[in-house]
């Protein structure tokens, strides 16, 4: 080390690294948030979410949703399940029909998190 200290190259003085100005997202936080984004990251589910939230009262019947897409009924059912499982929509059965309701706090929280990184 005493020998090589004579040949200190500029590479070590002009380090490529810059310091952090704030704390980045932790690994556990990232693994908690990513599934929410993944649930939204599909054109059909994005439209489903918007369609539900755009209905009066923030809720919509599955029959309404099925008609809005050129997709089979099982496919829509699958997408609704994905959104429900991550907590973006609530599910309520009323008689023969099933209503899905947008959880606006969840969406707002997610939007705030994404915006924070910017």
Partner DNA sequence: AGAACATATCGATAAGCGTCGATGTCTTGA
Partner DNA sequence: TCAAGACATCGACGCTTATCGATATGTTCT
Residue ranges binding a copy of itself (CB under 8 A): 16-25, 27, 30-31, 33-35, 37-38, 40-44, 46-47, 49-51, 53-57, 59-61, 63-64, 96-97, 102, 104-108, 110-112, 114-115, 117-118
Q: How far apart are CA 45 and CA 82, in angstroms?
A: 9
Closest CA to 48 of 97, 98, 82: 82
Out of 29, 30, 68, 91, the residue judged to bind DNA by CB under 7 A: 91
Return the residue matching tokens 């059965």.
93
Give the contacts of 73 (CB within 8 A, at least 6 positions apart).
66
DSSP reduced 3-state for 71: coil
The nearer residue to a copy of itself, 4 or 28, going by C-beta atoms, is 28
Q: Does 117 bind DNA (CB under 7 A)?
A: no
Smaller CB separation from DNA, 84 or 113:
84
């Amino acid at each position: 080390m005493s020998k090589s200290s004579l040949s200190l190259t500029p590479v070590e003085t002009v380090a490529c690294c810059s310091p952090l100005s704030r704390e980045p997202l932790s690994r556990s936080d990232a693994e908690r948030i990513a599934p929410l984004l993944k649930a939204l990251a599909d054109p059909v589910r994005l439209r489903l979410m918007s369609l539900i939230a755009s209905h009066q009262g923030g809720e919509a019947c599955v029959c309404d949703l099925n008609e809005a897409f050129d997709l089979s009924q099982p496919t829509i059912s699958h997408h609704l399940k994905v959104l429900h499982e991550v907590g973006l929509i609530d599910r309520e059965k009323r008689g023969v029909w099933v209503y899905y309701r947008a959880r606006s706090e969840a969406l707002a929280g997610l939007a705030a998190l994404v915006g924070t990184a910017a």
